[in-house]
Structure 1
Amino acid sequence: MRIPRFYEPSDLSPGQTFSLSESVTQHISRVLRMKPAEQITLFNGQGSEFLCTLARVEKRHVEVTVIQEENLTRSSPLKVHIGQSISRGERMDYTIQKSTELGMSSMTPLFTERCEVRLNNDRQDKRTKHWQHIAISACEQSLRNELPVITPIQTLQEWLDNVDADLKLVLHHHTEQPLGQLPRPESVALLIGPEGGLTETEVNAALAAGFKPVAFGPRVMRTETAPIAAQAVLQYLWGDLG
């Protein structure tokens, strides 16, 4: 049986005994109903994972002892930063979850002209924290040891003015730019529009900022499908899929 795996944002080292955070404690004691002497794996987002033994298990308190550290690299050599127009409901959660599984290094949620989601400052902070939690859960499931960064929400123009990458791509179905003919990049910035698509003005702004228009096939994809399909192609060409 697979050993349960959790994110624990602490400095970890072999021989250390410490108490787990509240969320992990609840999952171990109340959901999995684990017992002392059983093993779990922890990672702290810094590139290693740690095999641990449960030393004490109570409903609201779990202590573990770190047995060994293993330095495993599961991050893609291709750094993909996604500028994603915010979508409604669970669609944004789905995008972040699957993008994390595919190796995304960071994402900036974007307000665009046709974005139907409007959030005040307080709700923006709450949503950003929620999205980071989605990414953490996806890392636990996919065996990633480094967390992707979900940055604070920006306007499209703010992102275009500041994003830096070897290759900048905007999904635009009115193009036949072949990706395979481009020089191999170490980093890619990928701009994904909203459900109604980017406006012509926004596409032109992206082009002016150095983005290349690209299509991933003849069909128009939904806003939550496009980044998944695009990353699969990018990781196959220049990353670690295939």
Structure 2
Amino acid sequence: MQRYFVPAQQMKADVVHITGDDAHHLTRVMRAKPGDEVIAANGADREVLVRIREIEKEAVVADIVEERPLSGESPVTVWIAQSLPKGDKMETVIQKGTEVGAARFLPFLSERTVVQYDARKEAKRLDRWRKIAKEAAEQAHRSRIPEVEAPLSWKELLALAGQADLALLCYEKEEGRSFKEWLRAQFAPPAGPAQTVLVVIGPEGGFTEREAEEAQAAGCRTVSLGSRILRTETAALVALTCIMYETGEMGG
């Protein structure tokens, strides 16, 4: 069944108004007609089954049939901090990461970030990233749209590390405890799962030793994702999938 996210103000006690691109998709692409049912969610705390009552020129009016329990969300909140990669790789991280279950994306700039940051262009790119997250959340039948933040500086990112219950920095030079070992130690009984896990992924050239030390000082644990060097966009998705598996989201 098709799913659409609508602003909370468009979801009343007994009726929902679907507008904009979603209304166009529903009427022109899906060829919906009065009587058809779809799911609408406000992206935060409400999900409803609705039946289309009327199709207007720029909106679809639908009556709420029933309230639905929130679905498709992990009990563990995972933040993916991704050093800005080249090209459209950030779009891949956001799209696939949303499908797997990430709750928040934190792009950031680090010493070896290759991308030239332009604040004027970033505003448009941020809008695109958020649209990608919305569409991916709809496709994955999630109840919430992940947050996508504007790019942070390295210091701003480290300041957020203390807000997570567990912060892991993926570092190719780490020879001690692996990503798996940290996860299993964190989620094993009787400790129970952490509420929020921050995963920090470096740029194409990796982190510098100074950055690894600064991250540790800020409370991050440096971890290895294995003996092979992964592309930056691959590392983010592998780490996220490992968390979902270890917390039972994928049968772990």
TM-score by length of 2: 0.87
Aligned match of 2:186: 183
- Structure 1 residue 73: Cα displacement: 3.8
Whole-angstrom distance in 2 between the partners of 1:111 and 1:235: 26
After superposing the two structures, state which structure 1 stretch, 230-239 or 130-139, moved more. 230-239
Find the counterpart in structure 2 of residue 103 from structure 1.
101
In the alignment, structure 1 residue 203 sits paired with structure 2 residue 212: yes
Deviations 1:184-212 (A, max 9, x none): 33321111011121222222211221211
Correspondence 1:148-187 to 2 at 5 A: 148-163=146-161, 164-174=163-173, 175-178=175-178, 179-180=180-181, 182-184=185-187, 185-187=194-196
Offset at residue 59 of structure 1 (A)? 5.0
Q: Which residue of 1 aligns with 2:63?
A: 65
Q: Residue deviations 1:73-132, cap 9 Å, x none?
A: 432111111211111232111101111112111111101122122232222222222211
Aligned AA (1:236): Y
Runs (5+) with no aligned partner, structure 2: 188-193
Superposed CA deviations along residues 2-47 of structure 1, whole A, max 9, x for unmatched, are x21111112435532x432211111112212222211111111123
* C-alpha contact (below 8 Å) 1:107/1:151 kept by paired residues: yes
How far apart, CA to CA, are the structure 2 residues paired with 1:113 and 1:239? 36
Q: Distance in 1 between matches of 2:45 and 2:5?
A: 12
Match of 2:7 in 1: 9
Partner Cα separation in structure 2 for residue 61 and residue 105 of structure 1 = 29
**Which residue of structure 2 lines up, in the alignment, with residue 220 of structure 1?**
229
Contact 1:29/1:59 (8 A) holds in 2: no
Task: Measure the CA separation in 1 of the matches of 2:228 and 2:165.
Answer: 27
Q: Distance in 2 between matches of 1:231 and 1:20?
A: 32
Whether contact under 8 Å (1:87, 1:194) holds in the other structure is: yes
Instruction: Kindly indicate whether the alpha-carbon contact (under 8 Å) linking 1:47 and 1:73 is maintained by their aligned counterparts in 2.
Output: no
Whole-Å Cα distance in 2 between the matches of residues 112 and 226 of structure 1? 16
Pair 1:74–1:203, CA change in 2 (3 A) = same
Q: 2:44 aligns with which of 43, 46, 54?
A: 46
CA distance in 2, matches of 1:218, 1:176: 12
CA distance in 1, matches of 2:248, 2:152: 27
SS at match of 1:133: helix
The match for 2:244 among 226, 235, 238 is 235
1:53-92 alignment to 2 at 5 Å?
53-92=51-90
* Structure 1 equivalent of residue 135 of structure 2: 137
Deviation at 1:225, TM superposition (A): 0.5
2:22 match: secondary structure: helix
On the 8 A contact 1:112/1:156 being kept in 2, the answer is yes
Kindly report the root-mean-square deviation, in angstroms, between the aligned alpha carbons of the 2 structures: 1.8
Distance 1:193 1:158 in 2: 15
Q: Any unmatched runs of 5+ in structure 1? A: none
